[in-house]
């Protein structure tokens, strides 16, 4: 019997489907083969980075729960996102964002802007802010949607919104004057890291206690959230909500079998 998670809508919809349609052609060595699952927040991180860096890429839809032998030959873990570049296969969304930053330093990008600061100290600070997303915000997001009793749901939501409030303190007043993002008036790697989970935050609002308010997160986060949800690279990599519901319904019932879901259920760090 197959995993229930494998029964998912087969392709992106809405604005995301338009981007997929534009990226079906094979690319040369200056481009990327992008193995993706339209529904996955970790995939969306890499997808946003590809659009922001304007790197040529071929989008290849993968259902990671099927473990197709042809994909396992490329990525033995069978997980998305994964990319192929000049004979090498790479994986893990945070690593891929940094790789794309370096890869785009050549002639294979139409954009010269950076997702990470050039100065070593500033780059380290950005990585610290990403680390907080990975260790505090994302685990709390999963705990909230997987929790089954009201007390655990309320605690998960508080952990999540408290972590958002703390994270938003890194967006200082000067940046708010120049733009709402962690990167100022443009997205940076820190914004990209969190954006997909915020694009799915409506699941918490719908099923775990109603709208997330400024009282919970602070006003700075609310300004950032409004800006991130309307950013073209986020909008164009997000599918229609009704297609996410069956997938995340398994998380809401604590039935999902992804690595993140299993780790959350067992109280382990998300791999």
pTM: 0.95
Same CATH fold assignment for domains 4-103 and 120-266: no
- The pLDDT value recorded for residue 67 is 80
Q: Domain map of the chain by residue range? A: 4-103, 120-266
What is the Cα–Cα distance from 64 to 66, expressed in whole angstroms?
6
| pLDDT by 10s per residue, the chain, length 271 | 345 566 789 999 999 999 999 999 999 888 999 999 999 999 999 999 999 999 999 999 999 988 889 899 888 989 999 999 988 999 999 999 999 999 987 666 777 789 999 999 999 999 999 999 999 999 999 999 999 999 999 999 999 999 999 999 998 655 555 789 999 999 999 999 999 999 999 999 999 999 999 999 999 999 999 999 999 999 999 999 999 999 999 999 999 999 999 999 999 999 8
Strand blocks (E) in the chain: 32-36, 57-61, 82-85, 88-91
- The pLDDT value recorded for residue 7 is 78
What is the Cα–Cα distance from 157 to 161, expressed in whole angstroms?
6
Strand blocks (E) in 62-112: 82-85, 88-91
Fold of 4-103: Glutaredoxin (3.40.30)
Facing residues of 82 across strands? 35, 91
- The pLDDT value recorded for residue 2 is 46
CA distances from 169 to 9, 34, 118, 195 (A): 38, 34, 22, 17
Domain at 120-266, CATH from 1.10.357.10, 3.40.50.300, 1.20.1050.10, 1.10.150.130? 1.20.1050.10
What is the Cα–Cα distance from 170 to 177, expressed in whole angstroms?
14
């Amino acid at each position: 019997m197959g995993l229930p998670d494998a029964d998912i809508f087969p392709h992106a919809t809405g604005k995301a489907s338009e981007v997929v349609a534009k990226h079906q052609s094979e690319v040369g060595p200056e481009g990327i083969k992008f193995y993706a699952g339209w529904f996955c927040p970790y995939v969306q991180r890499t997808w946003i980075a590809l659009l922001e860096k304007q790197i040529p890429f071929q989008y290849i839809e993968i259902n990671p729960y099927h473990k197709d032998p042809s994909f396992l030959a490329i990525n033995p873990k069978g997980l998305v996102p994964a990319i192929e570049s000049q004979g090498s296969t790479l994986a893990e969304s945070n690593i891929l964002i940094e790789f794309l930053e370096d890869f785009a330093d050549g002639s294979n990008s139409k954009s010269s802007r950076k997702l990470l600061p050039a100065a070593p100290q500033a780059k380290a600070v950005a990585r610290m802010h990403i680390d907080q997303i990975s260790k505090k915000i994302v685990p709390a997001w999963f705990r909230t949607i997987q929790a089954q009793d009201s007390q655990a749901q309320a605690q998960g939501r508080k952990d999540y919104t408290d972590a958002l409030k703390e994270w938003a303190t890194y967006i200082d007043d000067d940046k708010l004057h120049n733009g709402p993002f962690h990167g100022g008036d443009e997205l940076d790697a820190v914004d990209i890291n969190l954006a997909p989970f915020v694009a799915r935050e409506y699941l918490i609002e719908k099923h775990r206690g109603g709208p997330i308010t400024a009282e919970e997160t602070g006003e700075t986060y609310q300004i950032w959230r409004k800006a991130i949800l309307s950013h073209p690279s986020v909008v164009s990599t997000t599918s229609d909500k009704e297609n996410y519901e069956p997938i995340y319904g398994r998380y809401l019932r604590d039935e999902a079998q992804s690595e993140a879901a299993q780790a959350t259920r067992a109280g382990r760090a998300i791999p």
